[in-house]
Copies of this chain bind each other. A is one copy, B any other.
């Protein structure tokens, strides 16, 4: 039951596409991720997923358009919607999603993180 300083937490890891848990409430996790490059196309059949950009620029590719996110902007990918996050330079992102959410959704790849780490 301590406060969380997002900038401090972001100094604790450097791996890309490897979200860390920084909070839990009402069956949801608050996560931080550093992202760079292209992620897989995937979807979460039963979970909506929020991306809030803290630094850098993140593009959420959807099948019919691209959503460009800058710091202070968020986008909610509704359950079942295919998406592919892409960042040309490193971006820092806060995620809000159910505890059950797997980062690669319905896909398994080298990016899949089965054992989430708290920081």
A contact set with B: CB distance below 8 Å? 1-7, 23-28, 30, 47-50, 54, 67-69, 72-76, 78, 96-98
Contacts and interface: CB of A to CB of B under 8 A. Distances in A.
Contacts of A25: 48-50, 76, 78, 96-97
A75 B54 CA distance: 17
Number of copies of this chain in the oligomer?
2
A23 B67 CA distance: 16
Given A25-B96, A96-B28, A4 B47 contact: no
A10 to B, nearest CB: 10
Contact of A72 (B2, B6, B26, B78): B6
Contacts of A68: 3
